[in-house]
Amino acid sequence: MTSPLILVNLKTYREGTGNRAHMIAQAAQLVAQDSGVTIGIAPGYIDLHPLCHHFSIPVYAQHVDGCEPGANTGHITVDAIKTAGAAGSLINHSERRLTLAEIEASVRGLQAHKLISVICSNNETTSAGAAALVPDYVAIEPPELIGSGVSVSKANPEIIRKSVAAVHAVSPKVKVLTGAGIQTGECVKIAVDLGTDGVLLASSVVKSKEPAAVLRDLVSKL
Ligand code: G3P
């Protein structure tokens, strides 16, 4: 059985940028090595290449465009994140929504470069729609719980259960993550017991004074 994925999105938090991004990546790498659980990190673009260079954990972009390299200004190509060493990318995060056509272009670009695609969704209907594009992962995150400190696993387990069923009804091979307010090993265990393949989270790790301790707790019940 493959390990669940704990994917830590550093967003644009000051506490997840520069030296702090390195410190969190270092903690994630140590906890991943000690626990055997896969822990990935999604830093801002400025930190993407240095983290890929210095650490062996999977590093994801927070967004990627589907356009080809060339005359595009202010876009992030799949080619660029692959060259930087990324393992894959989030797509359509709640804080970076895209059109359906743009989501498909990003997924196809990632697939063409053999990188991992994680489409974010907000409910079971959009999770099913995302699954129709056959990414590696669909990550269901109820927007109202993001950054709230209230865990989706405890506040709305039903949306996790329904999203897992909706995704697998469309494409059984697509894996499911869930996120929003995930803070503890108990939240992660509930999510995995409900059929997900891991969690996507941010503030509980990024804003902590001791990210390593939070990460250790997150993997403690797997
Ligand atoms: O990308 C993860 C995120 O949207 C959830 O954020 O702070 O609720 O863990 P948070």
The residue-averaged pLDDT of 196-215 equals 98
Q: Is the C-beta atom of 120 inside 6 A of ligand 1?
A: no
The residue-averaged pLDDT of 7-15 equals 98
- Our mutation pick for probing the ligand 1 site, out of 24, 145, 178, 200, counting the most ligand atoms within 8 A of Cβ, is 200
- pTM of model > 0.95: yes
Q: Which of 134, 135, 197 is nearest to 160 (CA)?
A: 197
* Predicted local distance difference test score (pLDDT) of residue 2: 72
Please enumerate in sequence order all residues whose Cβ is within 8 A of that of 76, keeping only pairs 6 or more positions apart, or say none. 45, 61, 63, 64, 65
Query: CA angle, corner 216, sides to 214 and 217, nearest 5?
Result: 65
Neighbours of 166 (CB within 10 A): 22
* Predicted local distance difference test score (pLDDT) of residue 1: 55
Of residues 136 and 2, more confidence is placed in 136
Active-site choice (141, 168, 186, 210): 141
Residue 109: which pLDDT band, with cuts at 50, 70 and 90? very high
Is residue 28 classed exposed, middle or buried when 0-12, 13-18 and 19+ CB atoms within 10 A define those classes?
A: buried
Q: Work out which ligand 1 atom sits closest to the CA atom of 94.
A: 4
* Segment 139-190, tens digit of pLDDT: 999 999 999 999 999 999 999 999 999 999 999 999 999 999 999 999 999 9
Q: Is the C-beta atom of 200 inside 6 A of ligand 1?
A: yes
Q: Is the C-beta atom of 178 inside 6 A of ligand 1?
A: no
The residue-averaged pLDDT of 189-199 equals 98
Q: Work out which ligand 1 atom sits closest to the CA atom of 182.
A: 9
54 is an active site residue: no
Residue 3: which pLDDT band, with cuts at 50, 70 and 90? confident
Q: Is the C-beta atom of 81 inside 6 A of ligand 1?
A: no
Q: Which domains does the chain have, with CATH numbers?
A: 5-218 (3.20.20.70)
What spacing in Å lies between the alpha carbon of 169 and ligand 1's midpoint?
26
Average model confidence (pLDDT) for the chain? 97
